[in-house]
Amino acid sequence: MNDGLVDALRHNMWATRELLTTCRELSDDQLRATAVGTYGSIIDTLWHITASEAGYCARLTGEPFAWHQRTEAPPSVDQLMSYVDDLDARWEQFLTVPFDAEQTVIVSWDDGKDRDVPRGVFLAQAIHHGSEHRAQVATILTMIGVEPPEWGVWDYAEATGRARQRGTFSAPQRKS
């Protein structure tokens, strides 16, 4: 098992689910809201997060997702939630086998030249990418008057039992 990656990947999936849960309550107009400096609308960004992470995961596992193909219109929030469940299961499977972070994957770069990219970079990108775009959606939510969820690592740790309150603290007794 890739113990050091467990919390990073689980937090990433948990945080995306928290955001999707909040977005389930939005109207179609709210889901289409945008803000300057963000990727796009809320729904487009949620689809971008999910589809991109599926691509990174497929590169690392060698197993593509049947739903990964981009479509003209993004899926519904409920459909995205099912895709995230599928992605989460694939990441959990990934965590059970040894991971060679230095093994390279050939990537066609924007300049048209191929690059050898270590698998560890793909993993870092999967985690970073979600964080960056979730923050963009939070900006849009705030602009339209919707409170974004708390999805920080400490929130994850508390919500999932990875940070547990210790027993009652008792200070040492003073001698008189």
100-118: average pLDDT? 93
Task: Decide if 68 is inside a domain.
Answer: yes
What is the pTM assigned to this prediction? 0.89
pLDDT attached to residue 140: 98
- Contact (Cβ atoms closer than 8 angstroms) between residue 47 and residue 74: yes
Find the helix or strand (DSSP H, E) in which 116 lies: strand 114-118
Query: How does pLDDT run across 63-97, given as a tens digit for each residue?
Result: 999 888 767 789 999 999 999 999 999 999 999 99
Query: How does pLDDT run across 18-33, given as a tens digit for each residue?
Result: 999 999 999 999 999 9
> Domain residues for 86?
3-159
pLDDT attached to residue 148: 97
Alpha carbon separation from 141 to 23, 43, 74, 82, 154 (Å, rounded): 9, 11, 18, 22, 21
- Contact (Cβ atoms closer than 8 angstroms) between residue 23 and residue 169: no
Task: Decide if 169 is inside a domain.
Answer: no
Task: Decide if 165 is inside a domain.
Answer: no
- CATH number of the domain at 140, please: 1.20.120.450
Task: Decide if 173 is inside a domain.
Answer: no
Q: How many structural domains is the chain composed of?
A: 1
27 half-sphere exposure, CB direction, 13 A CA radius: 5
Task: Decide if 41 is inside a domain.
Answer: yes
Task: Decide if 172 is inside a domain.
Answer: no
Residues 6+ apart with CB under 8 A from 30: 42, 144, 146
Task: Decide if 34 is inside a domain.
Answer: yes
Residue type, 51: A
Task: Decide if 18 is inside a domain.
Answer: yes
